[in-house]
Amino acid sequence: MGRACRRAAGLVAALALAGAGCSDRDLPAGEVTAVRRPAEEVAAARAARTRVAAELAARRGTAPAPKQILFGDLHVHSTWSIDAFVGALPIMGGEGAHPPADACDHARHCAALDFFSINDHAESLLPERWERTKESIRACNAAAGDPSDPDLVAFLGFEWTQVGRTPENHYGHRNVVIRSLEEGRIPPRPIAALPRGITRRAAPVPVLRALQAVLSLGADPYADFLGWIARMARVPDCPEGVDPRELPRGCRESALTPAELFRRLAPWRDEVLVIPHGLAWGLHAPAGADLRHTLAAGEHDPLFEPLLEVFSGHGNSEEYRPLPEPRLAGDEVICPEPTDDFLPCCWRAGEIVLERCQAAPDVCRERAAEARRLAALAGLEFERVLPDAEPADWLDCDQCRDCFKPAMSPKPKMTAQYAVALSEPDPADPEGRPRRFRFGFIASSDNHRARAATGYKQEQRRRTTDADGLASRRLAGWLRPWLMGRSEEPGLPRAVPEEPPGLRDLLDTERVGSFLYPGGAVAVHAAGRSREAIWEALRRREAYGTSGPRILLWFDLLNGPDGRAPMGSHLALSETPRFEVRAAGDFEQLPGCPGSARAALGPERAERLCAGACYHPGGHRRRIEAIEVVRIRPQRTAEEPVPPLVEDPWRTLPCPPDPAGCAVRFEDPDFARDGRDTVYYVRALQEPTPAINGAGMRPVRDEAGRVVAVRPCYATWRTPEEDDCLAPVRERAWSSPIYLDHASPGTGAGPDPEEDG
C-alpha cells in the first residue's frame, strides 16, 4: 500500500550507501509445512455452503446455484517486502521475519482458505528472491493434494507500487497475479515502478543519522536490512528497448505507467491478472488525484484489469464522497472551509495556531492564514508545518466521517463508485462507445505479516493488522524533532522543504494506526476447486469481497437475454431488469484454533504464525440484517456531474431475523423508461459486532455534534498493546456489479465480448 512505496523509495534512497559494506547474507524463504488440511474439514465447509445455497434457493422456488463459493486472499506480503521487514524490526515493536513459507502455512492452517496469492513489492524483490518465491509457492501447491481438488491453491504474484507526486503522473498500486507455475508461462522477473537508477543514489546525511540510530541498537536484523539495501543497489536496470522475454534474468525491470506495465506483460497476456488496489488511500495519493486521468489517457486495459480491490486491511476504497480538497486559484492555493461532515487538515492547521497563539489577535490571524496556506501546499506532509503539534491535535481532519472502515484521508476521485460512474470519449471505437471502467469488486488483506484474510476474528490488533510504529517513547522523543523538524516557537508554522519523505515515514503510523484493520477476503463462484476453475471465475468477474467474515452472497439478474446472469455480467437489455439477492452470514467463531491446525504446525509454530486467532467456525451463523442496493448511472458525457449519478444506497431491503439467511428481489422500472446505461451492485450487511478500529479515530463530540477531541488507536507505545480499539460495525460483503447497457427493443445489441475478456 501507500506506506509500502513511500518507505521503499525513501529507505532505498537513504540507505543505499550505508548498506554497501554490510552483511551480504540473505534470509531464507522458510519451509512449507507439507501437511494438508484434513479432508473432512474441507468437505464440511463445502457441505455447509452447499446447504445454505439450497435452502435460500428453495425459498424462491429456484434451483440451487451450480457453482460453489470459495474464499481466498489475493494480496499477501511476506517480510520480503521492504516495508514489511521494517515493520518486523524490534525498533518498530515487530515480531521478526515472516518469509514466503509462512504465508502458505497461515493461509492453509490458520485461515483455512481455499486460495491465496503472494504479492511482495517488486521494488524490493531481488532476482534470487523471485526465484525462491516461485519455489516456495510450488512447494505450497505440492502439499495441496490432487490438483483437481486441492485443499489450497497458491498463486504466484507481485505488487507494482506506483506513486506520483502530481495527479497527472499518479496511477496507484496494482497486484499482478499469475495463473501458472510453469516456466515460460511466468514473467521472468517482477516489474517495479522505480525510476531508473534510483537505488544507486544516496543521501549521506540521513545515512549517517540512520546508522547512528541503528548501531545504537546493534542486532542482526538491522545488518540484514542494510545488506538487503546494498544488494538492491547492485541490481542493474534492464536495458531499454528489448523484448521482455530477451532481457537478462538478473536485471531490474521497471514500468512507470500502467500502459507500460501492460506492454511488458503482453507476452503473458492470458496468464496474468492486474488488480488495482488501495487507490483511494490518501497517504500516498496526491491532492486532486483522479481516475479520469487514467481512463482518458488509455492507461486502463480491461483484459488485464477485470477486477478492483475495494477493501483491504488498509480500509475502504468503495464509497464516493465529494470531499473538498485544496485548489489553485492563479498562483495561490486555497484551503477549503470545513463542513459539518468534513474537516480539511489545512484548515485545522490554522485552528491549531489560533488555539496556541499568544501574540496580538491580528498577528494570530495572519499566522493562522499562513498555516493553512503552507499546509495546503505541503499536501501529504501537512503535519510538518506544525511539528510541535501532537497527532491528536489534528482531530479527525481529512477523514470520511460516515464511511465504513474508511481508508485514511480518502481521495474521493480514486474510489470504486467514482470509477464506475466515469465515461470518456474513445476515438478508436468505430461505434462511438465511450471508455468506461467495468470492474468486478473484490477484497483482500494487504497484510504485511504473511497472514492472509485475518478479518474472520477481531482480536490481536498488533498481530492481525499492519499496526506498527516506534516501540519506545524515549526513541520517539529523540527521533521526532529530527524527522519532523522544529518550529521557532510553539504554534508558529513553517514551510516544508521539498525533499523525499525518507525515514520520516516511520512516524506515519501515529495517525494511520486508527485506519488499519484485519484483512478482507475475496470469494469466487467457481465450477470446482482447481486452479483453472478459480482463475476462470476471477476472469469472468463472478467474484465478490467481504470485510473479513465468510459471508455467502449471490446476486443475479433474473431476466437477462439468456436467462439468469450472475454478478460481474455485462449485458444489453431493453426491458425492466429484475434482480435476486441471496446472502447468509458467517459462522460465529470459537476461540483459539482447531486441533488440526496445532497438530499440523506444532504448538510453537501455530502460536507464532496463527497468533491464537484461527478460523474456527462454530455452528451458529450471524444474521444478515439488510441488503443495500447501489445504483450508478455512468456519465453520458465526460462533462456530466458525477455526484447525482451515484445513488448509495438506492434501496435498502430489510431481511427477516433468520440466521439461515436472506433472499430478496427487486426491479428498476427507471431503466427501461429513462433509457440510460446503469450499474447495480449490492452489499449484504451482517448484524453489528465489535471490530478493531470500528470507530476510526474515536471522535468525541460536544452537545452540538462538533468533534472536539479524538482518541486515536495508535500503533505505537501510546496505545496499550492489549487495547484492540473495538467498536460495533456491520461487517459486509460487496458483490461485483452487473453492468447493463440500455438497448432499443428488438435490436439485440450487446456488449463487445472482447472488452469483457
C-alpha–C-alpha distance, residues 100 and 77, integer Å:
8
C-alpha–C-alpha distance, residues 715 and 724, integer Å:
10
Element (H, E) at 524: strand 521-526
Element (H, E) at 673: helix 669-674
Residues 6+ apart with CB under 8 A from 663: 56, 59, 60, 580, 581, 582
Contact indicator for 613, 460 with CB cutoff of 8 Å: yes
Res 507 pLDDT > 90: no
Contact indicator for 156, 137 with CB cutoff of 8 Å: yes
125: Cα separation from own chain's centroid: 20
Res 497 pLDDT > 80: no
| Best CA proximity match to 632, nearest among 651, 642, 646 | 646
Contact indicator for 177, 158 with CB cutoff of 8 Å: no
Q: Which of 225-239, 575-589, 730-744 has the lowest mean pLDDT?
A: 225-239
* Residue 57 bridge partners (DSSP): none
Torsion of CA 524, 528, 534, 536, to 10 degrees: -100
Res 734 pLDDT > 50: yes
- What cell does 731 get? 461487517
Element (H, E) at 479: helix 473-484
Check the CA dihedral 278-283-284-285 and report its sign.
positive
What's the mean pLDDT in 320-338? 90
Tens of pLDDT along 157-197? Answer: 999 999 998 899 999 999 999 999 999 999 999 999 988 87
C-alpha–C-alpha distance, residues 131 and 64, integer Å:
43
Going through 191-286 in order, the beta strands assigned E by DSSP cover 191-192, 253-254, 272-277
Q: What distances in angstroms separate CA 38 from CA 353, 456, 528, 550, 604, one per listed residue? A: 62, 20, 18, 19, 20
pLDDT band at residue 5 under the 50/70/90 scheme: very low
Nearest-Å Rg of the Cα atoms of the chain is 25
Torsion of CA 524, 526, 529, 532, to 10 degrees: -100
> What is the pLDDT at residue 458?
97
Portion of the chain with pLDDT greater than 90, in percent: 74
Alpha helices, H only, 120-257:
127-142, 204-217, 220-234
> What is the pLDDT at residue 222?
78
User: What are the DSSP calls for 104-148, one per residue?
Assistant: HHIIIIIS--SEEEE-EEGGG--HHHHHHHHHHHHHHHHTT--TT
The pTM for the full model equals 0.93
Q: Which of 223-232, 404-413, 643-652 has the lowest mean pLDDT?
A: 223-232
Element (H, E) at 120: strand 120-121
Contact indicator for 627, 583 with CB cutoff of 8 Å: yes
Tens of pLDDT along 556-572? Answer: 999 999 999 999 999 99
What's the mean pLDDT in 599-627? 96
Q: Which of 49-63, 437-451, 706-720 has the lowest mean pLDDT?
A: 49-63
| Best CA proximity match to 732, nearest among 695, 697, 687 | 687
C-alpha–C-alpha distance, residues 598 and 604, integer Å:
9
Tens of pLDDT along 66-98? Answer: 899 999 999 999 999 999 998 998 888 889 999
Domains, the chain: 2-322+406-463+516-687+730-742 (3.20.20.140), 327-399+468-515+693-727 (no CATH)
Contact indicator for 181, 268 with CB cutoff of 8 Å: no
> What is the pLDDT at residue 509?
63
Own/partner pairs for 262-268, CB < 8 Å, 24+ apart?
A: 262/301, 262/304, 264/187, 264/191, 265/176, 265/187, 265/191, 265/304, 267/187, 267/243, 268/178, 268/185, 268/186, 268/187
C-alpha–C-alpha distance, residues 548 and 721, integer Å:
22
Q: Which of 187-191, 223-227, 647-651, 694-698 has the lowest mean pLDDT?
A: 223-227
Is the model more confident about 241 or about 312?
312
pLDDT band at residue 12 under the 50/70/90 scheme: very low
C-alpha–C-alpha distance, residues 703 and 644, integer Å:
32
C-alpha–C-alpha distance, residues 414 and 43, integer Å:
40
Work out the number of other CB atoms within 10 angstroms of the CB of residue 554.
25
Q: What are phi and psi of 233, to 5 degrees?
A: -65, -25
> What is the pLDDT at residue 218?
47
Instruction: Kindly report the average pLDDT of the chain as a whole number.
Output: 90
Work out the number of other CB atoms within 10 angstroms of the CB of residue 329.
7
> What is the pLDDT at residue 602?
95
What's the mean pLDDT in 10-26? 45
C-alpha–C-alpha distance, residues 421 and 424, integer Å:
10
Contact indicator for 382, 375 with CB cutoff of 8 Å: yes
